[in-house]
Amino acid sequence: MARAPYKGARALNVMATRTSRFNPYWLLVAPAVLLVLALYVAPIVNVLLLSVTDPKPGLGNYVKIFESDTVANLIWRTIRLCLITTAAAVTLGYVVSYAMLHALSHVRRRMMSILLISFWISVLVRSFAWLMLLGHNGLINDLLIGLGLISEPLPLMRNELGVLIGMTEYMVPYAILPLLANMQGIDPRVTSASRSLGASSAQTFFRVFLPLTKPGIIAASLLVFISSLGFYVTPAILGGGKVQMIAEYISVQLLVTVRWGVAAMLATLMIASVLALMYVLNRFMKLSVVFGGVAR
Amino acid sequence: MTAKKRAQDPHETGRSARNNERGEGRSKMEEVTMKDKAFLNDLAREGAIAFKSGRLDRRSFLMLCGLAGVATLAVKANDAEAAANEIVMWNWGGESEKCHGDAIGKPFTAKTGLPLKFDTSGPLQGKIKEMVDSGKVTADVCDADGFDAIALGKSGHLEAIDYNIVDKKQIKEGVAWEYGVGVIFYGYAFMYDTKAFGDNPPKGWADFYDTAKFPGKRSLYKWANGSIESALVADGVAKDKVYPCDVPRAIAKIKTIKADSLYWGSGSEAHDMIVNGEVAMGMIWQNRGKTIEERTNGRYKMVMNEAIAMPGAYIVPRGNPAGRDNVMKFIEQALQVDSQLMILDCLGMTPSNPEAFAKIPEAMQPYAINSAQNIDKVIFNDPVWWADNGGDAVNAFLEAIG
């Protein structure tokens, strides 16, 4: 077979079905794969190597996870904040998606454009906007004091609360997009059937609709959690210096203390945990389905 | 300096030695070719510099390019020409671009014909190291800190200062280092709200850390500089005994106000925390403090007593594009009394040239580090201690406040 001359598409087809052999379609993807390998994977491998070579060869940087409270606390804080953000963003996103699903089509279009506009606004701009809103003399505190509800400004930022508000708000659109795609794929007749068979609206939602949106919830949670791990600007601006997350710490080790080994170690750890997370989830459900691919 | 002389320069030998180190796995042959290329590149660059300054006529310059290999050097000659054509200053943007341009750039260009350009992305130590290691050095002079000059000088990332061109007499004692020059001084002072403490104003760091006597929140610098020293002074360490810093002691003191403290990473953040009433007292860069006093008509007042004075160093990344001589002339210009006073006026950074101290204007006296009324009150930072211990101190500090 390998030596048989090509005879157009038929030959390609035949070869494609013989999966054990070289699939010529790979040639079509090869340039893209090579580009990614050269420009993306190679530099990353280079960074990862730093984690075992700087300042001296060995696993010294990794031992720090167990020896140093700083690094352990940092990892734990990052995970905790990302989990809370994920829960909050996916819950809010679910409510908005549900509303969008049931809105009239022209309203939904408008909601979609608002969503996309907020999606495109830079994280820096949004964090500064929160400074104006949450600050000591910010809009919210001024309003509450003006209404006589509080006498002293509430500490809404320069703490974990501020960071969580900023992160959640940034992440809501990331939760909505996969959730909405999933909800739109559910046949509306299913809920109608449930109602016609005598289920209450609450029963229909919790026993029919919610289980059907499980892939959407998982996709949204995964997307939000993984993206949250890299938050840098929001904690730096809204955290008042006390809420350090991994990304900011990596930047300090790169730029200020010039401990590139530690920075590379944390980066490696982040990449590894994201990959591990995806692997574990892949055991339970096909990730390609979650992200809109075809089930095999 | 001619190409030949340059090749004999001990400096250059150092660089090629490092190149060899990096190319351990390479064959002898390749190594030779690399050296050749480097030599030809230098030749073209030096030729371009000579051509620009009129020491070399056009024909000879082109011949030199031809000699070095037209095909490869068509691009490189352009690079070389551009490199010899300007000084690139790597600073922190904002006002400093205009101020450095007016105070140093203009007289420098008038003398040498070389324009001054800016890269305003902020020359943090890690970035300078990365730039030099990558071999693509695009900046000639960095507006960095004293401890950067010591640390990066030690690790071989900087060009040594040529004190034949830069006159040591124009530099305050103690900040003329082998690999950098303390061109200006800035400092970590603190401000308080006169509405809260107008009758009984705080006088130094001991009051700053005393939240019982002076209730309210505090803000400190996020990356430990100044913060460590302030805590030690507050804890009773004598001003001349601050270095070497007892970091655990400083951190224990900082932890006493942890619940009442915020931390800033940029001048504007520090500014906001004070004028928005988020803190009752806040650490501040002394030049920023002057702006706040002026803009709030004195509602917030700065305390310069026991301020931590930092030497701001001009350092030259190893292998800078404009060549060592040009950039040394630039540093020499920065130290001229007129330039120094213009920077003080424009940026609030205090002169390092002792000759300029006496010429600090009356209005700037309260804010300048080296003015007659402040010079004995402030604590001068020890960049050598910071270069050796800064990394550990920053990490210990971050752990304590996190």
A212 touches chain B (CB under 8 A): no
In this predicted structure, which of A108-122, A270-284, B121-135, B302-316 has the lowest mean pLDDT? A270-284
**What are the backbone dihedrals phi and psi of residue A217, each rounded to the nearest 5 degrees, phi first?**
-65, -45
Average pLDDT over residues A250-271: 92
Question: SS in 3 state form for B71-129?
Answer: HHHHHHHHHHHHHHCCEEEECCCCHHHHHHHHHHHHHHHHHHCCCEEEECCCCCHHHHH
pLDDT score at A294: 54
The per-residue pLDDT for B307 is 97
DSSP annotation of B178 reads: T
Q: Where are the alpha helices (DSSP H) in B178-323?
A: 194-197, 205-208, 227-234, 247-255, 267-275, 286-295
Tokens linked to B281? 């007292």
Verify that A46 and A152 share a domain, yes or no. Answer: no
A136 in reach of chain B (CB within 8 A): yes
Q: In whole angstroms, what is the distance from residue B45 CA to residue B89 CA?
A: 19
Task: Please identify among residues 223-282 of chain B the ones whose CB lies closer than 8 Å to any CB of chain A.
Answer: 223, 261-265, 269, 272, 276-278
Residue with tokens 């229909």: A204
d(CA B261, CA B282): 9
Question: Residue B6's pLDDT is what?
Answer: 36
CB A226 within 8 A of CB A89: no
Q: In this structure, are A145 and A204 located in the same domain? A: yes
CB B125 to CB A136 under 8 A?
no
The verdict on a CB contact (< 8 Å) between A70 and B272 is no
In the CATH scheme, what is the homologous superfamily, with its name and number, of domain B186-308+379-401? Periplasmic binding protein-like II (3.40.190.10)
Same-domain status, A145 and A238 = yes
Asked if A259 reaches chain B (Cβ–Cβ under 8 Å), the answer is yes
**What does the pLDDT read at residue B51?**
58
Q: What is the pLDDT of residue B53?
A: 58
| Whether residues A26 and A95 fall in one domain | no
Domain match, A142 and A270 both: yes
Q: Domain for residue A1, yes or no?
A: no
CA B351 from centroid of its chain's CA atoms: 13
**Do residue A15 and residue A133 come from a single domain?**
no
Q: What is the 3-state secondary structure (H, E, C) of chain A?
A: CCCCCCCHHHHHHHHHHCCCCCCCHHHHHHHHHHHHHHHHHHHHHHHHHHHHHCCCCCCHHHHHHHHCHHHHHHHHHHHHHHHHHHHHHHHHHHHHHHHHHHCCHHHHHHHHHHHHHHHHCCHHHHHHHHHHHHCCCCHHHHHHHHCCCCCCCCCCCCCHHHHHHHHHHHHHHHHHHHHHHHHHCCCHHHHHHHHHCCCCHHHHHHHHHHHHCHHHHHHHHHHHHHHHHCCCHHHHHHCCCCCCCHHHHHHHHHHCCCCHHHHHHHHHHHHHHHHHHHHHHHHHCCHHHHCCCCCC
Do A41 and A83 sit in the same domain of this protein?
Answer: no
Report the CATH number that the domain containing residue A130 is assigned in CATH.
1.10.3720.10
Percentage of residues of chain A with pLDDT beyond 90: 59
- Beta strand pairing status for B300-315 and B379-380? parallel
Asked if the C-beta of A73 comes within 8 angstroms of chain B's C-beta atoms, the answer is yes
User: Which of chain A's residues have a Cβ under 8 Å away from the Cβ of B265?
Assistant: 236, 241
Ramachandran region, residue B182 (left: φ > 0; alpha: ψ -120 to 50; beta: rest): beta
B156 pLDDT more than 70: yes
Distance CA A90, CA A173 (A): 9
**Which of A69, A131, A255 comes nearest B124 by C-beta?**
A255
Disruptive mutation site among A76, A80, A242 for chain B (greatest number of B CBs within 10 Å): A242
In this complex, the residue of A69, A137, A255 whose CB is nearest that of residue B276 is: A137
Check B395 against A70: CB less than 8 A apart. yes
Q: What angle do CA A157, A161, A167 make, to 5 degrees?
A: 95
Name residue B188's beta-bridge partners.
B285, B308
Nearest to A256 among B125, B272, B277 (CB): B125
- Residue A202 Cα, gap to closest chain B Cα (Å): 44
Is A77 in Cβ contact with B262 (below 8 Å)?
A: no
CA–CA dist A123, B288 (Å, integer):
27
Residue B94 pLDDT: 86
Give dist(CA B258, CA B218) in Å, integer.
9
Under an 8 A CB cutoff, do B398 and A252 touch?
yes
Domain ranges of chain B: 3-79, 87-183+312-364, 186-308+379-401
Q: How confident is the model over A166-194, as pLDDT tens digits? A: 999 999 999 999 899 999 999 999 999 99
Q: Are B338 and B35 in contact (CB under 8 A)?
A: no
Span B354-375, average pLDDT: 94
On whether both A49 and A70 belong to a single domain, the answer is no
Whether A41 and A141 share a structural domain: no
Whether the Cβ atoms of residue A260 and residue A253 lie closer than 8 Å to each other? yes
Using CA atoms, how far apart are residues B33 and B40, in angstroms rounded to an integer?
10
Cβ–Cβ below 8 Å for A249 and B398: yes
Q: Tens digits of per-residue pLDDT, B186-219?
A: 999 999 999 999 899 999 999 999 999 999 999 9
A89 part of a folded domain: yes
Q: Say yes or no: A174 and A35 in one domain.
A: no
β-pairing, B261-264 vs B218-221, is parallel
Domain B87-183+312-364 sits in CATH at: 3.40.190.10
Nearest to A256 among B394, B399, B402 (CB): B394
Give the whole-number percent of chain B exceeding pLDDT 90: 76
Query: Residue B151: is its pLDDT beyond 90?
Result: yes
Closest residue by Cα to residue A259 from A198, A267, B26: A267
Number of structural domains (chain A) is 2
Does residue A238 sit in the same domain as residue A279? Answer: yes
- Residue A2 is assigned to a structural domain of this protein: no
pLDDT of residue B131: 96
pLDDT at A279: 85
Q: Let me know: does A241 contact B222? Beta carbons within 8 Å.
A: yes
Q: How far apart are CA B223 and CA A255, in angstroms?
A: 11
For an interface test with A, give the residue of B128, B392, B395, B397 to mutate (most A CBs within 10 A). Answer: B395
In this complex, do B262 and A241 lie within 8 Å of one another by their Cβ atoms? yes
The B residues from 98 to 127 touching A (CB cutoff 8 Å) are: 124-127
B214-225 residue pLDDT tens: 999 999 999 999
Q: Which of residues 147-176 of B touch A (CB under 8 A)?
A: 151
Mutation to test the A interface, candidates B262, B271, B283, most A Cβ within 10 Å: B262
Total residue count of chain B as it appears in this document: 402
Domain carrying residue A19:
8-53
Chain B neighbors of A250, CB-CB under 8 A: none
Q: Cβ of A46 under 8 Å from any chain B Cβ? A: no
Kindly state whether A110 is in contact with chain B, defined as any CB-CB distance less than 8 angstroms.
no
Task: Supply angle C-alpha B84, B86, B92, rounded to 5.
Answer: 140
β-partners of residue B158 are B317
By C-alpha distance, which of B200, B193, B378 is closest to B281? B193
Check for a shared fold between B87-183+312-364 and B186-308+379-401: yes
| Domain match, A94 and A170 both | yes
CA–chain centroid gap for B384, Å, is 14
* CB-CB under 8 Å, A258 with B263: no
Which of B126, B151, B222 lies nearest to residue A255, judging by beta carbons?
B126
Q: Which tens digits make up the pLDDT trace of B73-132?
A: 444 445 555 556 899 999 998 889 999 999 999 999 999 999 999 999 999 999 999 999
ipTM above 0.85? Answer: no
Candidates B263, B276, B402; nearest CB to A135: B276
- Whether residue B79 lies within 8 A of chain A, CB to CB, comes out as no
